[in-house]
């Protein structure tokens, strides 16, 4: 697995700082492999994690009454985030899973502006879908400006992602129908998808 330091862009300001820890090289050499997920107990305790995730400004993808909810920290420039979105289609389309995208802007300098284009859209879910469907062409166009509220939201999401132990995207937290939680750092292997998404 190739590793690289991830530069975090605090809003659209020019000041940069390096994230504590390391992130998988989603934009690394062609030989880089997708980060492999490791199921682990969510930290802190499950109820607290769920409350924190629920309180974030997530973008829904799928039916609200789906029996399984999956929160995913998503950077608009993360190719593994798109792969996870694409892998989820059969479960989302069948009404089995609702993805809740918690947008962050941590990979490239235009990541915050792309995340803002989704978060500032009149219909966030539609903007997210537009972005994913245009992934091969670079996704949604960056917003011309990022509102102060959205900057605060993106920073809060980044801090939440880091506090839950994720150092790269996607950072995935699965909440099953019984309220249990499991977390996965990175794009799960194909063989693990039924475990992540549940029965189809």
106-164 residue pLDDT tens: 999 999 999 999 999 999 999 999 999 999 999 999 999 999 999 999 999 999 999 99
**How far is the CA of 186 from the CAs of 16, 70, 80, 92, 125, in angstroms?**
24, 14, 7, 19, 22
Cβ atoms of 88 and 197 closer than 8 Å: yes
Residue 57, Cα to own-chain centre: how many angstroms? 12
User: Looking at residue 150, what is its pLDDT?
Assistant: 97
Residue 1, Cα to own-chain centre: how many angstroms? 20
User: Looking at residue 28, what is its pLDDT?
Assistant: 32
Phi, psi of 44 (to 5 degrees): -70, -160
Query: Mean pLDDT, consecutive 10-residue segments, the chain of 200 residues?
Result: 33 30 31 40 60 96 96 98 98 97 96 98 98 96 96 97 95 86 94 93
**Angle, alpha carbons 78-144-61 (nearest 5°):** 45
- Quote the CA–CA distance of 41 and 25 in Å, as a whole number: 24
User: Looking at residue 12, what is its pLDDT?
Assistant: 31
User: Looking at residue 179, what is its pLDDT?
Assistant: 76
Tell me if the pTM is above 0.85. no
């Amino acid at each position: 697995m190739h590793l690289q330091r991830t530069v975090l862009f605090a809003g659209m300001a020019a000041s940069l700082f390096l994230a504590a820890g390391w992130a998988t090289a989603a934009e690394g050499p062609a030989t880089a492999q997708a980060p492999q997920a490791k199921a682990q107990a969510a930290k802190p305790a499950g109820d607290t994690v769920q409350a924190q995730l629920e309180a974030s400004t997530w973008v829904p993808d799928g039916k609200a009454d789906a029996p399984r909810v999956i929160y995913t920290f998503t950077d608009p420039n993360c190719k593994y985030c798109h792969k996870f979105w694409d892998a989820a289609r059969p479960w989302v389309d069948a009404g089995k899973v609702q993805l809740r995208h918690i947008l962050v802007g941590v990979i490239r300098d235009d990541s915050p502006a792309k995340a803002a284009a989704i978060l500032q859209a009149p219909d966030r879910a539609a903007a997210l879908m537009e972005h994913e469907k245009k992934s091969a062409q670079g996704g949604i166009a960056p917003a011309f400006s990022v509102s102060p509220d959205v900057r605060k939201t993106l920073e809060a999401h980044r801090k939440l992602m880091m506090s839950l132990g994720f150092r790269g995207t996607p950072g995935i937290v699965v909440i099953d129908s019984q309220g249990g939680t499991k977390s996965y750092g990175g794009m799960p292997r194909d063989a693990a998808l039924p475990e992540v998404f549940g029965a189809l």
